Structure 1
Amino acid sequence: MSYAISSIRNAVRYVRSLPARLKRFKEACKDVNVESKALLCLDVVTRWNSTYMMLEAALKFKKAFRYLEGDANYTKYFEEERVNGEKVDGPPDNTDWTNAEVFVKFLKAFYELTLKFSGSLYVTSNLFFQEILEVQVELNDMKSSTNELMSKMVGSMQLKFDKYWGNVEKINLLQYIASILDPRFKLDAVHNSFRYLYDPILAEKMIKKVENMMTTFYAFYKGTVMTPSSSNDQQASQSVTSNASGNRKEKLVEDTNFDILDWWQRNGNKYPIVSHIARDVLAVQMSTVAFESAFSTGGRILDPFRSSLSPKMVEALICSKNWLTCEYDAPIVLRQYMDKIEGLVTSEQVESEESCVTNTGTETTVATPSTL
């Protein structure tokens, strides 16, 4: 898959590198009757959102790129050796284009999901759990893919998914409450999602935990919200905390252009207590991660403006991460070397940060720089 992306990236780079090449490419588009308002764009290799957009645009001009294979200048570009003595991957063949099509279709779901979670001008907490469920559905569908590279990549992604969502004890239950407060989903959708994600015993356990939390919420807000007795609110609470077996189907709102804040504003008088719960829960953003960071594979950057860590400590942290994520069982090796590294770093800090050292009799105390 990486070779397919690299070959298409280099083909795009060839077209965009010179005005004459771009003109020739436009002529090729006319010759093969390719009409598209999309523009070829170069990507940033460490940002998957830009790679996705690069591939999506390039696929629209697949016929034009194949037509260029009859151009000697185009094929020569991939045969020339660069300064390091290596040749550029490409030109992309049918297999590369096929892999790219599968990959773009798969990546589109994550691209759109990240856009939803990164929103700051609309409510996101009610969408989170259902979108996470869609991710699992997408992963399950791609596991059966006949594309060997895609199946391997999905296996790796499933491990990451299970790391964050496999341990239900670490999951904040508020995300489920937010989904219940969405009249398009309610409790039935959460029940069905649990039964899809987890085994029957764990699913029932999670259902009980969410129901108990919602009951606790309702009892707390009932004691703090000064409102007259409301039969509608009683029914709303009962619809959340009863019928765990799913014998009675809840009536769901069906609206493609649904605005949950508008809905609760219009129905707040009917459900004064539950509407207060919705007001507080839905105000929580599900993600504060920048859109670019969510798709970045470049990692975090430490510099003097962002950290007061010494260079040796930064090096130790980076090495530790590499050892922990390597293929063999590295924790034992890590423990053997961390004491030596820590001693080396501490001694250098003592020498270079004399102002931070205070001698107290037989003991020496070092003011440790603040960490991230």
Structure 2
Amino acid sequence: MEGKHLHVRCMAHILNLIVQDGLKEIGPSIKKVRQMVKYVRSSSSRARNFLKCVETQKIECDKMLSLDVPTRWNSTYLMLDTVEKFEKAFERFDLYDASDDLDLSKMASGMKEKFKRYWRTPEKMNKMIFIASVLDPRNKFVYVSFALEELLGEETGNVVNTKVEAYLRDLFAIYVSKYGKGSKSQPSSSDSSDSSGSGISQNMSKNSLRTKLHMKKQKNDSGSLGVKSELDKYLLEDQEPESEDFDILSWWKVNSPRFPVLSQLARDVLAIPMSSVASECAFSTGGRILDPFRSSLTPKCVQCLICVQDWLRQETKPICVEESLESKGQDNEEIILLARDT
């Protein structure tokens, strides 16, 4: 009959698929039990401590803990059935075993020390990270202050928050001196004394003029009142509502007429990438290019090789070296070929 009767579905396999589909509902619980059994069985000392717990709880069972095969439902059932009988032993197991793994503990201690070396104290953290969050109109200092308090505690968080604000104001003052209008003292002719002899007292006019010029110089050195208050104005305004399609760069572009100096600061700060290639990578690349077989390359040639290699990797479309040679001439042939080989 052309082999129509040869194909019979495996009932055991179908049953396994059905049960496995049902076990997905309690998958996290089964995973925890499996890890618990694996932890006890992976060490002879833990197994002995577990047997002490079994004896203490006076549990009588001929079976011992067995690890299941996740793809076979019947082995999972046997594992759960056995574990259930030793439930009280697992509750007491914590008294005999503190779950300390000396190897992992040593490894974690080294990693923690490395973490503390760079991030242990807030002083080691670049304040530009917090300033970038302040320049997000959805956050400002309201969010940063709360986050610092949650991260470092109320007392330390307030101290760091004060330092971040002072750092931001110092940074803003530099931008005011660079981009602000009237950053240099330029006395106008209207500030000069009236030579018409209108009857104003000479001593009074000189003292008043001197005071006004001094006050104006201070204002101009620190920026005009309007420019200086840009940061305060920005911080006092309400936060922007949260939105998935919020574009922070577009927001600063639209609001740059209101914050001409602060928008320059935001543009520079927000342009800083959150991560970059480690500096060691550049040295490693240089070492691969300037190896013992290429020790006679000039510094300019090495620099060109590194740049060309970076450009080749960043191109979205594949670069045809032959076409590049024809269009650019043969002068750069050595550099391009070396970069491709590197």
Instruction: Give the TM-score, by structure 1 length.
Output: 0.35
Q: By percentage of residues, which structure has more helix?
A: 2
Higher Rg: 2
Instruction: Give the TM-score, by structure 2 length.
Output: 0.38
With a CA cutoff of 8 Å and minimum separation of 6, indicate the structure with the bigger relative contact order. 1
